Structure 1
Amino acid sequence: MSRARTVLVIGGGAAGNAVTILLRRGGFAVDLIEARDDWNATAGSGITLQGNALRVLRELGVWEQVQASGFGYGSVGITAPDGTVLHVARDIRTGGDDLPATLGMQRPRLQQILIDAVRASGASVRLGTTAQILDQDANGVSVRFSDGGEGRYDLVIAADGLGSSTRAAIGITDKPEPTGMAIWRIAAPRPAGVTRTDLAFGGPAYIAGYSPTSDSTLYAYVVEDNRDRASIPPATYADEMRRLACAYGGFWPEITQHIADPAKVNYTRFDRLLVEDSWHRGRVVLIGDAAHCCPPTLAQGAALSLEDAWVLAQLLTATQSWDDALFQAYYERRIARVRPVVEASVQLGQWQLDGVRDADVPGLMARTMTMLRELP
């Protein structure tokens, strides 16, 4: 009887958790390590999941929990800064007609659902642990862990995020680049009338928006020029976000009164990353933000990462030949889908930075989202 193939997953975010669940289902022995001691110390307050993300979450077996925890909706409103609704557009159902077009939920809740599914899968999990690639050959990879232990695996999957140390360690030199924008986010109680995402363009911020995340909560955000985060004292985060948010009408006054605790405000710059060359070196392969990242202008970051996990797991379980041809097939299948999303997400922000008033924003969004209806 042949032994179960062994996989080390580095990083316990959405991509790492998803690929762990799928590979365990395929019968592989999976060790997942996460650098943080607190596996659910998740930055940010909420997440917007388009249908193609929900499609993968259904494949993971967690859709019912996600559906019960979040708030599904099917349209987006465009408003003036004073709150006047200018246009309401139907969202494209990128996950198929049997799933909501969009679902908002609290990011820590999504992470906990995935954590529970990883635990239930029987994967070995080690927190507060990092790994160093020692060497590899055609059959596997040797690693040393931060606690001094060592291991040998048939495959290492680097899901260690935008600043991936594994990416750099295997000789991939691509690094994230700032796009020029940054975002303030906060979780807040949901006004009863908020039943979709509304986006206000103009005013002191590029975008002021919110998304319902449950029957009682939402997350709100304002987008501005990127500033050096080190120059903004954390104690002023609530003041900084409130200064921008208070210029907006509609539901914003009710939301703004909850922007009070600076510890609950998250500030993050927008980055762009797309590893253009293959996403593997030998038996070490990148997924998720370690391979690509885009501004949240299309709300596709988590969706693309989840798709990576789904596609890679499909390929790994379909054959015994874990070789360059397989990993190149993974790259080619993903880059054709990821590149237009990254480019469109960056372009939408750049048009705002450049003050382009006649840009075909609806057309670009519709073309990109329609493409995502196809299976990854």
Structure 2
Amino acid sequence: MTDPRSRAVLVIGGGASGNAVTLLLRRAGVAVDLIEAKPDWNATTGSGITLQGNALRVLRELGVWEQVSASGFAFGSLGVTAADGTVLFVAEDIQTGGPELPATVGMQRPRLQQILIEAVRACGARVRLGTTAESLDQDDDGVSVRFSDGTEGRYDLVIAADGLNSATRAMIGITDRPEPTGMAIWRIAAPRPEGVTRTDLAYGGPAYIAGYCPTSENTIYAYVVEGCRDRASIPARSYADEMRALAEGYGGFWPEIVKHIDDPAAVNYTWFDRHLVEGPWHRGRVVLVGDAAHCCPPTLAQGAAMSLEDASVLAELLTTRDTWDDRLLTDYRARRMPRVRMVVDASVQLGRWLLDGVRDADVPGLMNRTMSALKETP
């Protein structure tokens, strides 16, 4: 078998999938350059993230589970409440990562990114921040890359992990683009009210969904989901007012959370998108992973998990096969596509039922079927 140490890979994008595939390839001895457009490596971006068991399984594979466990808040159930805070029912979460891992861990997104950054720094990858790929010139043996800093590099494979609006995807001629689903979400990090020990979701009220997730012993992230509005029509200085106006219509723990929705700079407003590249996920020796290939609304909290699983499957194939060819990259997509499509379609359907006002939708059934299927290893 070809010695992995003779191979060189460029990873474009330092988010979850890019960091993960870098770690796994470096473990096998592959030389990896990672470039990230943001000078701060997105180390301070985001409020919170919900990591279900199948995401935790990959984080354990990366060797960072202990840090994640120590930094996050583990729980095993999901509550559904009325708008006034009355708990309607509590469902046990499915342990999609197996019995050794919690069903769910909530954590602060910047903390997860910092854990992955530290691991990538320690693994021996060459990292360049504030750098993009300006051109890719492929031939049968590899890819020549010209970078925004004027330098050039030569690689056996380029992995595009540069997100939903991937410039690399466009550069190699894949024309699939994300499409809004009609929903948008307001998010904020806040102190954890005493008694919040799981995610609770309220359907209905002033918004379609209002929820929160504990992210540490002291913090949560809270969110409200509404219909899409023209982002240009919402001044950034009004973000706290906009989110607070929606959140004030909810009871239970929400009055305490609302007290902390006071800084517009701390509030994030994002549309929900559906994205799935229907054709091949590669062109020659350039391959997509994570949000560059697919993205879904957070209604199932599976976005990060799908990206991490992509990295795991691609790295497995690259480190166990002698030949890096079209067949390998086709097999990677074939393994991922049914699982990813299931999650994307289910995530979009949950939102569509709300938008259409379907009152008898089988939400628990769809969620249970999807999460049960995710117990299988990717």
Range of TM-score over shorter length: over 0.9
Q: Which residue of 2 aligns with 1:248?
A: 250
Q: Residues 206-255 of structure 1, C-alpha deviation per residue, up to 9 Å, x if partnerless?
A: 00000000000000000000111111101000000000000000000000
Q: Distance in 1 between matches of 2:136 and 2:339?
A: 32
Q: Residues 176-214 of structure 1, C-alpha deviation per residue, up to 9 Å, x if partnerless?
A: 000000000000000110000000011110000000000
Q: Distance in 2 between matches of 1:355 and 1:138?
A: 53
Q: Distance in 2 between matches of 1:49 and 1:162?
A: 19
Q: Distance in 2 between matches of 1:281 and 1:140?
A: 12
Q: Distance in 2 between matches of 1:375 and 1:156?
A: 26
Q: Distance in 2 between matches of 1:133 and 1:307?
A: 28
Q: Residues 332-359 of structure 1, C-alpha deviation per residue, up to 9 Å, x if partnerless?
A: 0000110010000000000000000000
1:167-246 superposed matches below 5 A: 167-246=169-248
Aligned mate of 2:80, from 78, 81, 101? 78
Q: Distance in 2 between matches of 1:311 and 1:230?
A: 39
Q: Secondary structure at the match of 2:34?
A: strand
State how many pairs are aligned: 376
Aligned mate of 1:350, from 338, 352, 365? 352
TM-score normalised according to structure 1 size = 0.99
- Quote the offset at 1:134 in angstroms: 3.1
Question: Does structure 2 conserve the Cα–Cα contact (< 8 Å) formed by 1:5 and 1:28?
Answer: yes
Aligned mate of 1:150, from 126, 149, 152? 152
Letter in 2 for 1:323: D
Q: Which residue of 1 aligns with 2:331?
A: 329
Q: Which residue of 1 aligns with 2:47?
A: 45
Does structure 1 residue 258 correspond to structure 2 residue 257? no
Q: Secondary structure at the match of 2:208?
A: strand
Letter in 2 for 1:331: R
Q: Distance in 2 between matches of 1:18 and 1:35?
A: 17
Letter in 2 for 1:154: D
Letter in 1 for 2:87: V
Question: Does structure 2 conserve the Cα–Cα contact (< 8 Å) formed by 1:43 and 1:266?
Answer: no
1:1-12 superposed matches below 5 A: 4-12=6-14
Q: Secondary structure at the match of 2:6?
A: coil
1:357-368 superposed matches below 5 A: 357-368=359-370
Q: Distance in 1 between matches of 2:67 and 2:43?
A: 20
Question: Does structure 1 conserve the Cα–Cα contact (< 8 Å) formed by 2:43 and 2:114?
Answer: no
Question: Does structure 1 conserve the Cα–Cα contact (< 8 Å) formed by 2:43 and 2:113?
Answer: no
Consecutive aligned runs of 4 or more in structure 1 exceeding 6 Å deviation: none
Q: Which residue of 1 aligns with 2:16?
A: 14
Q: Distance in 2 between matches of 1:185 and 1:54?
A: 23
Letter in 2 for 1:174: D
Q: Secondary structure at the match of 1:162?
A: coil
Q: Distance in 2 between matches of 1:21 and 1:227?
A: 39
TM-score normalised according to structure 2 size = 0.98
Q: Which residue of 1 aligns with 2:164?
A: 162
CA RMSD in angstroms comes to 0.9
Letter in 2 for 1:73: F
Q: Structure 2: where are the runs of 5+ without partners?
A: none
- Quote the offset at 1:41 in angstroms: 4.2
Identity %: 78
Q: Secondary structure at the match of 1:205?
A: coil
Question: Does structure 2 conserve the Cα–Cα contact (< 8 Å) formed by 1:311 and 1:330?
Answer: yes
Does structure 1 residue 57 correspond to structure 2 residue 59? yes
- Quote the offset at 1:42 in angstroms: 4.4
Q: Which residue of 2 aligns with 1:311?
A: 313
Q: Distance in 1 between matches of 2:182 and 2:140?
A: 42
Q: Secondary structure at the match of 1:115?
A: helix
1:93-132 superposed matches below 5 A: 93-132=95-134
Question: Does structure 2 conserve the Cα–Cα contact (< 8 Å) formed by 1:189 and 1:217?
Answer: yes
Q: Structure 1: where are the runs of 5+ without partners?
A: none
Q: Distance in 2 between matches of 1:9 and 1:135?
A: 16
